Structure 1
Amino acid sequence: MNLEFPKNFWWGAATSGPQSEGRFNKKHANMFDYWYEIQPEEFYNQVGPDTASNFYNSFREDIALMKEIGLNSIRTSIQWTRLIDDLEAGTVNEDAVRFYNEVIDEFIKNDIRPVINLHHFDLPVELYHRYGGWESKHVVDLYVKFAERCFELFSDRVVDWFTFNEPMVIVEGEYLHQFHYPNLVDGKKAVQVAYNIQLASAKAIARFRELNRNPDGRIGIILNLTPPYPKSDAPEDLAASEFADLWLNQLFMNASTLGEFPEKLAAVLEKDGMLWDASQEELTTIKANTIDYLGVNYYHPHRVQAPAVSPNSLTVDWMPEKYFDEYEMPGRRMNVDKGWEIYPKAIYDIGINIRDNYGNIDWFVSENGMGVSREERYLNEAGVIEDDYRIQFIQEHLYWLNKAMAEGSHCFGYHLWTPIDCWSWKNAYRNRYGFISTNIHTQVKTIKKSGHWIKNVAETNQVTLEDTLIKTIENN
């Protein structure tokens, strides 16, 4: 069976500045840079972001490898901490301007579409220490200054812009579940941060529409969408699933595409004394500056059930999880290295939800992928990592994506996380994701079997599936 994809479909991959560039010639530290400085033991093998995959120094060779495996689009980010010298004034660093100009030009020279994101968990740590970071609306305005510089400098060549990557991860990682610095547990701050990030996105979109220098330019946001499947059809489980969806998905999705926060979510937050501080002027800005298109990061689903304890009986710090419990479905397929369930059909469900509930907005898979540890286990005699598991993972997701597209969902691309193995926050290089491997000691980079496979897919716009794999996909 051959899955057919459109002629101009984006076959690409995603990375980020803080995970690929290294800290070379960077004036400011971001939140993770600083966390590594003060607690290196929190990071796998105490490997930090100082070198990452050395993209700052090797971008020409790296882009040539991306070209060699047939990728026609790459998403990366411009680092606030690199581009801006004076964070209050918004003045730029000339070396950073040179670097990003050369990177963009190199992508274009290689017929690779540069897709630029403006924030990938890389808030300048100074702004957290001075103002509380995204807790502060002053920081919102400083972010907008940074975005303005990007549009002024690069929008003559960059068509595709995104304001934030996975804003919910900032909210949960920094303010609820303690996997991003500063590792707080503060529901009130978490809710305000969510609102402030959405306001920052809307304000940046407004400035993009004033400053954009490219008639084809578009701007969106990248959301990690995770369908929360209920344990059963019992009313309590369905209610848990509904709230999980409101919090995890609809909060940013509704505000970004429809210009309004979900009323049911706002009502619950207000009842709990958690609702954000908002002015009518700000809400009007959010309403007036919705996205042109959407990036969707999908890795795993959520499985939820009714909470074991009544939400109204809890006296501990507020958490959205007071309204739902996680549920481990028996027989689920797992990526044991990462601890995430593998459920490709969710990408179909996401696509149909976008079609039916969000105006069938144009969207693409901006991240999808499989982190695997100790990939040297799969090295063959020719020195190539035979990552057949990754090829099958992609095939299964593309099967369901293709089905959603056939049923009218407006998806225009698929990006794997990541083109080249990159540094991954606290996990550092524990798990590898790329089409291209990185030796972190020598910085030698080698195309994996999946890299050779994706080249054929990109050249033909076809994905060939064996009958046995189709049966496996449909039975799961």
Structure 2
Amino acid sequence: MTDARTFPEDFLWGGATAANQIEGAYDEGGKGLSTSDFARYKPEVSDGADNFTFEVTGADLDAADAGRLEGVFPKRWGIDFYHRYKEDIALFAEMGFTTFRMSISWPRIYPTGLETEPNEEGLAFYDKVFDELLAHGIQPVVTLSHYEMPIELTRRYNGWLSRECLEPYVKFARTVFERYRDKVRYWITFNEMNMNLTSVYTGAGVVMDRTDRPEREVAYQATHHQFLGSALAVRAGKEILPPDARIGTMINRIEVYPATPRPEDVLQALREDQANLFYTDVQVRGSYPGSMLRYFADHGLNVEMAEGDDEILAEGTVDYIGISYYMSHMTADRPGAQEDVGLLVGAMKNPHLEQTPWGWPVDPVGLRISLNRLWDRYQVPVFIVENGLGAIDTLEDDDTVHDDYRIAYVHDHLVQVREAIADGVAVMGYASWGPIDLISCGTSQMSKRYGYIYVDQDNYGRGSGRRIRKDSFSWYRDVIASRGAALDGPEPTPLGR
């Protein structure tokens, strides 16, 4: 009989990152510029709660073409994983990782996306990374498109607003499937496709001031093209990869609670949940749900679909669902509520939940609810490929970082994962975001830290780059080594106390 305190023997333990937030070396190894290379750090915006620095304008791209674009672009230097990957992977292995989620930078393989032949230097870099991971017994989980694409596809086609991005993306997917078929078992086609409603530039490379279509229509049109890209990539993967390879989708999962039992509030929560699950509905079930088709009609959104698209979606369904989980939402039927439908950050705050310094509600039980809901709805395995706490960490004079708040956050969420597994949910693994400090996706900060490993670097890229183990490093190592039994030790100090 399995010990109820422990996780399954084949459960995958590790951490998650993205190329654009860790690699750096934006102008080395033949790499082309990506959409993420234009994300700025803006102290007046980045350092405040609920503020994001996603957007890039057409004027920004024109200025870049003319050599006049100014600003601080931290994703161009990342944390120098490009040169320090062996050191970082050794630290992951010391923690006992059995998996590491990462992404392949599309413009490192095809610098503009339009080349006939891939960049061999870029391919060779990932060969070395995968070889290093496998030598330490760590299975890579690889995202094909994680908030970056060649900037040339934005300049030429306005990103995924155009079907013209399908051919370059599928070519990229086929190239890496063929190259790494014997090194990578787990793949994800797109990261958090539901980001498109929050920032269609970040998620799909679309510059809004270069289209006259409504923003929501643009977001869903770009999403439709990404659905097709994902399905075509799945089809290619089934042809190229070994039979035991698995290709998944991935969404930012938001559990939505009604503010009251008033039926109108419950209905609003249902609508928001349907909008969040829309992405997995299409990619797991292979067709658009009626709820979203009605939403398009009710709001006058003209999402153009070509003959044959339905067949492509039906034939390209995924093997598993990857989720990021950071928070839940609360909602109510109120003026403007329809504008919140599908967004990743809710307007209402739940009075029963504490918040992170960036205003994100902390809700471990919501993760258990989400895992159950996804399993009940789809009956395919779920992989938690992001979950973590962004916080301001203090490096003490003796090179220690006391991050009990992070230990408490991860502890409480893992307890709920264990409960979900006991509920009968097939959970593949847990890869916390990010196991090492990295550049924030939303704010381009370094000071918003997630890792078990401190990186001596500030928001402007200054510092030694030294890697320093935080208190959470040894704690997570012990949890992995005990297959979760260590979660039943002394309870950590809750967040905010």
Query: What TM-score comes out, normalization by structure 2 length?
Result: 0.86
Are positions 1:353 and 2:379 aligned together?
A: no
Q: 2:204 touches 2:222 (CA, 8 Å); kept in 1?
A: no
**Correspondence for 2:456 among 429, 434, 439:** 439
Deviations 1:186-227 (A, max 9, x none): 121111112111111111111111121x33211111111101
Query: Which of 312, 329, 332 does residue 353 from structure 2 map onto?
Result: 332
User: 1:71 corresponds to which residue?
Assistant: 97
Q: C-alpha offsets along residues 54-79 of structure 1, whole Å, 9 cap, x if unaligned?
A: 01111111111111111111000001
Answer yes or no: is the 8 Å Cα contact 2:97–2:138 preserved in 1.
yes
- In structure 2, relative to structure 1, the CA distance for the partners of 1:56 and 1:190 (3 Å cut) is same
Q: Distance in 1 between matches of 2:336 and 2:120?
A: 56
Deviation per residue, 1:375-424 (Å, 9 max, x gap) = 11xx4564221111111111111111111110110002111101210111
Aligned to 1:403: 419
RMSD: 2.8
1:448 to 448, 459, 470: 470
Q: Tell me, yes or no, if structure 1 residue 163 matches structure 2 residue 189.
A: yes
| Superposed counterparts of 1:373-392, under 5 Å | 373=392, 375-376=393-394, 379-380=395-396, 382-392=398-408
CA offset at residue 428 of structure 1?
2.0
Q: How many residues align?
A: 457
SS state at 1:118 partner: strand
**Does the alignment pair 1:101 with 2:130?**
no
1:372 aligns with 2:401: no
1:362 and 2:394 equivalent?
Answer: no
Match of 1:60 in 2: 86
Please list the CA deviations of residues 290-315 of structure 1 after superposition, one character each: whole Å capped at 9, or x if unmatched: 1111211100011111122596xxxx
Q: Equivalent residue of 1:333, what SS?
A: coil
* 1:35 Cα offset (Å): 4.1
d(CA) in 2 for partners of 1:178 and 1:358? 25
Q: State the 1:141 CA deviation.
A: 2.0
Distance 2:206 2:43 in 1: 12
1:20-419 to structure 2, matched below 5 A, reads 20-22=22-24, 23-25=26-28, 26-36=30-40, 46=72, 48-85=74-111, 87-174=113-200, 182=207, 186-212=215-241, 214-247=242-275, 249-308=276-335, 320=341, 326-335=347-356, 337-359=357-379, 361-373=380-392, 375-376=393-394, 379-380=395-396, 382-419=398-435
- Provide the C-alpha distance between the structure 2 equivalents of 1:98 and 1:43, rounded to a whole number of angstroms: 35
- SS across alignment from 1:273: coil
Aligned to 2:59: none
- Whether contact under 8 Å (1:366, 1:416) holds in the other structure is yes
Q: Aligned letter for 1:356?
A: D
List runs of 5+ in structure 1 lacking aligned partners: 312-317
- Residues 34, 125 of structure 1: 8 Å contact kept: no
Rounded to whole Å, the distance in 2 between the matches of 1:149 and 1:30 is 18
Alpha-carbon contact 1:173-1:180 (below 8 Å) kept: no
**Residue identity matched to 1:56:** Y
Unaligned runs of 5+ in 2: 48-70, 458-462
Q: Point out the structure with the larger strand share.
A: 1
Give 2:60's aligned residue: none
Q: CA deviation at 1:90?
A: 4.3
Counterpart in 2 of 1:427? 444
Separation in 1, partners of 2:337, 2:118? 52
Kept in 2, the 8 Å contact 1:9–1:412? The answer is yes
SS state at 1:446 partner: strand
For the residues of structure 1 that align with 2:240 and 2:133, how far apart are their CA atoms? 23
Q: Are the counterparts in 2 of residues 369 and 418 from structure 1 also a CA contact under 8 Å? A: yes
Q: Which amino acid aligns with 1:198?
A: F
- Is contact 2:375-2:381 (8 Å) kept? no
Distance 1:179 1:159, change over 3 A: closer
Residue in 2 that maps onto 1:314: none
The change in CA–CA distance for 1:90 and 1:235 in structure 2 (over 3 A counts) is farther
SS state at 2:314 partner: helix
| Contact 2:158/2:206, CA 8 A, preserved across alignment | no
Q: 1:460 to 1:266 in 2, by over 3 A?
A: same
2:296 and 2:482 mapped to 1: Cα distance?
49
| Cα deviations by residue, 1:418-453 (Å, 9 ceiling, x for unpaired) | 121011133321200011110121110011111111
Residue aligning to 1:315: none
Q: Do the aligned partners of residues 467 and 50 (structure 1) sit closer, same or farther apart at CA in structure 2, a change above 3 Å counting?
A: closer
* Mean CA deviation greater in 107-116 or 87-96: 87-96
Aligned identity (percent) is: 29
TM-score of the two chains, using structure 1 as the length reference = 0.89
